[in-house]
Structure 1
Amino acid sequence: MASKGEKPPQSRCSSCGPGFQKKSQEGKAVCCYGCVPCTDRHIANQTDTDQCMKCLEDQYPNQERNQCLPKVVTFLAYEEPLGMALASVAACLSFLTALVLWVFVRHKNTPIVRANNRDLSYILLISLIFCFLCSLLFIGRPTAMNCLLRQATFAVMFTMAVSSVLAKTIIVVLAFRATRPGSRNRKWMGSRTPISVVLFCTLIQILLCAIWLLLSPPFPEADTHSDRKHNILGCNEGSLIAFYFVLGYMGVLALGSFTVAFLARNLPDTFNEAKFITFSMLVFCSVWVSFLPTYQSTKGKMMVAVEIFCILSSSTGLLSCIFIPKCYVILLQPHRNIKKTLKDNSTS
């Protein structure tokens, strides 16, 4: 019996506020329970909730875990600084390539342009223009048509560029062998041979891309798990095997071009084109070898930005290493652009 002045003990029940769910405790009264915070992507918007509710795929919980907020849709847009910068660089480089093409067409009858196979130079420059422009397909909101076209367009244009470089290296070797007395390589020196190499190599890539697009084409999708507060829109490549097969084919062509050019780098070819091709393909291969692990380790917008950067940098390597030295001579040192000078260089 309680003495006078003492208050009788009162039992107090637990109470869990919003953002928490009840958890019973062993050995205690039913009304005594612990309060556990809602787990990731779950909320409790009432007091003493038995179980937290899961937010929808396009929502995320606020910091207090008592309300679901809509996720922000994000993608590499033209309006943001990164997208604007990449698009501007792509446009400027394509314009620069068009200027180089104009210089070559205007000076098409000069010895330097003629000595390095005009047709292949035109094909390579045109394909580089489209290589720069195809990077624009990777910027903007992904759509079904956009996802379908961007990787295939990039693959075909790059294959045309790399096969043009391969044809140039083959022509360098054939030109040297054709100068030997009694050589049978003269019959391969016609204009059809290099064009046939480009068409054949590009046709194989077109066939690979057609199989890819018919059997397992890329499609737009939203990544709702990589970022807590954002829905990242992008393109699912469909068949990753086909994607890497297409990239691998370009890698084989690039490695073949590099190998042939490296072996022919010391031949007395006109204007040392084999040396420029060797360096350009070294840059090209280095960029794409570093691309694969970086591409795999990034997500969302940065993954797209990495691929665009590789497209722009490898194309710039081809443009600058192969054509800028020739443009320098054509525009700033025209006295070197004569047959006698080229013959002296070839002899030396």
Structure 2
Amino acid sequence: MHRVFRRINHTSQKIANYNPENTVKYCTGTEETDGQWSTVQQPIRTHDTMVYSPTANQDARHNGLQSNSQSGRTTQHTFIKTYKIAPKNQQNRSAGTSVTFNRNGDAPGRYDLFQYQWNNITGHGYRMIGQWTESLQLNIEEMQWPRGESDIPISVCSLPCKVYERKKVVKGMPCCWHCEACDGYQYKTDQFNCKLCPYDMRPSTNRSSCQPIPIVKLEWHSPWAVIPVFLAMLGIIATIGVMATFIKYNDTPIVRASGRELSYVLLTGIFFCYIITFLMIAKPDVGVCSFRRIFLGLGMCISYAALLTKTNRIYRIFEQGKKSVTAPKLISPTSQLAITSSLISVQLLGVLIWFGVDPPNSIIDYEEQRTINPDLARGVLKCDITDLQIICSLGYSILLMVTCTVYAIKTRGVPENFNEAKPIGFTMYTTCIVWLAFIPIFFGTAQSAEKLYIQTTTLTISMNLSASVALGMLYMPKVYVIIFHPELNVQKRKLICLLTYSLLIPPPSEILQNPYLKICLIPGDPKHVYS
């Protein structure tokens, strides 16, 4: 509009010199132009803004002069002043058209919209599909799109990003971007940036914020815990039953021959092996973690220390008997208890040092189950005990077990008088097989997301099986004889003197039926029967 008024002011001075004869030709509005760089001819509609601009200029000057005459002043009208007093409303003209100006003095734009289309009759050409006059009027049905599509194709520089995606601006095109997902444990801080969540948190579903990672532990109702607990309960009941039977028949030959002192020590160790199952599944806290450290290797240590002392005693007696008739040293019950206690004290000393160096505590391990998919990530509530510490705690017990197995192999050929040598040997062979299977399973699952469950279940089942093997092979046969065959609960080669007044009196039936008694009559003394 500024340019329009400049030209009007410049040419208005020459209006008086206007000669119609100098005009070459008037435009009719139906002319066509041949595009210099285009092969398509396009009709051009004339715009009447320029036609009515002189009139608008005159109206502005007229309004200004009237305003000044009313105030009694005379003003020189420059371009700026003329522009400021130009009419802002609609101006009707004789041709039936109108010219309007906005508040800035500009005339509104008027446009015809064309689309280059294919027509079966006329071929390629432009087709009017709408207009712009203050607003857009678009005839969508008249439009054509590639591949015959009816919907308007998306024609934007960049589509809006999803809620979990950030905008990565294209270099050199600040208004265009690529949508990039915030992956892993990242969340979207704003529309252009992603940030990693804290270590103990994970992104929300829409990645707009971070939320705490759920905490898990081994539950009592979990299938990983049900089987070990069931085995432990059966083992505890059986152990208590065996111990009660031994206490009740404490002075009988079978109980006395088995070495009562070490038998009770061994039963105590077996009981502790079953108890550790409940401590491994209980909710970790300072108290539970403390008892775990104490009983983790104590039960096995007590059991194999007692068995090692027994097998060592048998071996020394057998070897000493080959050389002389003198009994070896340290084979009395008191000496056996002292040796066993010294072996157990090594384990307790190690646990005491462990407590001093690294006090027990419960922790939440977010690394153990930190999966690639953050939705599956879990924090594991557990005691602050590493795999290496578990093996070190069990290592001393395993050393006692291996040593006991060596002595069991050495005493496999002893006379039948040492009736516990072979059962101890079978016990140790089976126990070694159990723990040989435990080690690869325990360490092979160190990187598994189910590490907590697999390792705990494997450890508790291995300890339950070890205790059950010792209980079943060393004690169940004796309990069976004590309860169901009390007539066999006598010493071998026990002297029995039966006073009879005549050989016609037969010996008691229980003596004749006892396979452990060998009936013999002393010549010359028919009234005495010896075995």
- Confirm or deny a common fold (TM above 0.5): yes
TM-score of the two chains, using structure 1 as the length reference:
0.86
| Deviation readout 1:98-156 (Å, 9 max, x if unpaired) | 10111122222222222221111111112211221122111122112211220222212
Give the one of 201, 219, 232 matched to 2:361. Answer: 219
Query: Residues 120 and 195 of structure 1 are in contact (CA less than 8 Å); yes or no, is this contact kept in structure 2?
Result: yes
Any conservation in 1 of the 2:360–2:383 contact (CA below 8 Å)?
A: yes
Residue 185 of structure 2 is aligned to residue 41 of structure 1: yes
Q: How far apart are the structure 2 equivalents of 1:131 and 1:159? A: 10
The superposition leaves residues 224-249 of structure 1 with CA deviations (integer Å, 9 ceiling, x where unpaired) of 133333211112226x6554333221
Q: Check whether the contact 1:270–1:342 (CA below 8 A) recurs between aligned residues.
A: no
Between the aligned partners of 2:217 and 2:306, the Cα distance in structure 1 is: 34
SS at structure 1 position matched to 2:193: coil
Q: Distance in 2 between matches of 1:109 and 1:246?
A: 37
1:174 Cα deviation after fit: 3.5
Q: Corresponding residue for 1:89? A: 231
Q: Which runs of 5+ in 1 are unaligned?
A: none
Decide whether aligned partners of structure 1 residues 341 and 95 sit closer, same or farther in structure 2, where only a CA change above 3 A counts.
Answer: farther
Alignment of 1:35-114 (within 5 A): 35-44=179-188, 49-61=191-203, 65-66=207-208, 68-114=210-256
AA of the residue aligned to 2:233: A
For structure 1, which segment, 116-125 or 317-326, has the greater mean C-alpha deviation from structure 2 after superposition? 317-326
Please say if 1:16 is aligned against 2:161: yes
* Distance in 2 separating the partners of 1:61 and 1:110: 70
SS in 1 for 2:178: strand
Matched, 1:332 2:484: yes
Matched, 1:322 2:474: yes
Per the alignment, residue 291 of structure 1 pairs with: 438
Deviations along 1:290-340, whole A, 9 cap, x unmatched?
323322214123322222222212111211121122222222333433323
Shift of 1:64: 5.1
Greater percentage in strand:
2
Q: Does 2:455 match 1:312?
A: no
Indicate conservation of the 8 Å contact 1:336/1:342, yes or no: no
Residue in structure 2 matched with residue 5 of structure 1 by the alignment: 114
Pairing partner for 1:143 from 261, 285, 288: 285
RMSD: 3.0
Partner of residue 30, structure 1: 174
Query: How many angstroms apart in 2 are the aligned matches of 1:183 and 1:263?
Result: 20
Q: Secondary structure at the residue paired with 2:173?
A: coil
Q: C-alpha distance in 1, partners of 2:328/2:425?
A: 24
Paired amino acid for 1:36: E
- For the pair 1:234 / 2:378, whether they are aligned, the reply is no
| Structure 2 counterpart of 1:6, one-letter code | Q
Distance 2:323 2:487 in 1: 32
Equivalent residue number for residue 102 of structure 2 = none
Q: Could you tell me how far apart the structure 1 residues matched to 2:302 and 2:404 are?
A: 13
Amino acid in structure 2 at the alignment position of 1:134: I
Pairing of 1:159-238 with structure 2 (within 5 A) = 159-177=301-319, 182-227=324-369, 228-237=376-385
CA distance in 2 between partners of 1:16 and 1:226 (Å): 34
Instruction: Note closer, same or farther for the CA distance 1:24–1:122 as it changes in structure 2 (3 Å cut).
Output: same
Distance across 1 between alignment mates of 2:322 and 2:225: 54
- Between 1:270-279 and 1:153-162, the stretch displaced more is 270-279
Give the SS at the match of 1:338. Answer: coil
Residues 123/6 of structure 1: CA separation in 2 closer, same or farther (3 Å cut): same
Instruction: Report the alpha carbon displacement of residue 65 of structure 1 after superposing the two structures with TM.
Output: 4.1
Pairwise CA distance, 1:341: 7.3
The alignment covers a number of residue pairs equal to 341
Alignment partner, residue 82 of structure 2: none
1:185-230 alpha-carbon deviations (Å, 9 max, x no partner) = 3443311221112101001111111111111234211121333332
Three-state SS of the structure 2 residue aligned to 1:214 is: helix
Q: Is the 8 A contact 1:152 1:209 kept in 2?
A: yes
CA distance in 1, matches of 2:280, 2:469: 20
Name the amino acid aligned to 2:115: E
- Distance between the aligned counterparts of 1:341 and 1:25, measured in 2? 102
Distance 2:278 2:330 in 1: 39
Residues 226 and 24 of structure 1: is their aligned pair in 2 closer, same or farther, counting only changes over 3 Å? farther
- The one-letter code sitting in structure 2 at the alignment partner of 1:37 is A
Moved more, 123-132 or 11-20: 11-20
Q: Is the 8 A contact 2:224 2:453 kept in 1?
A: no
| 1:125/1:33 CA distance change after superposition, 3 Å | same
Q: 2:406 aligns with which of 259, 262, 266?
A: 259
Taking structure 2 as the reference length, the TM-score comes to: 0.58
Q: Please give the per-residue CA displacement for 1:237-275, whole angstroms capped at 9, x wherever unaligned.
A: 26x655433322111110010110111012114464222
Q: Is the 8 A contact 2:307 2:424 kept in 1?
A: yes
Q: Distance in 2 between matches of 1:10 and 1:308?
A: 66
Farther-moved stretch of structure 1 (251-260 vs 134-143): 134-143
> Is the alpha carbon distance of 1:231 and 1:241 closer, same or farther for their aligned partners in structure 2, counting shifts above 3 Å?
closer
Change (3 A) 1:11 1:64: closer
Aligned-partner SS, 1:43: strand
Q: Distance in 1 between matches of 2:494 and 2:243?
A: 21
Which amino acid in the other structure matches residue 218 of structure 2? L
Amino acid at match of 1:322: L
- What SS class does the counterpart of residue 379 from structure 2 fall into? strand
Cα 1:283–1:263 change in 2 (3 A) is same
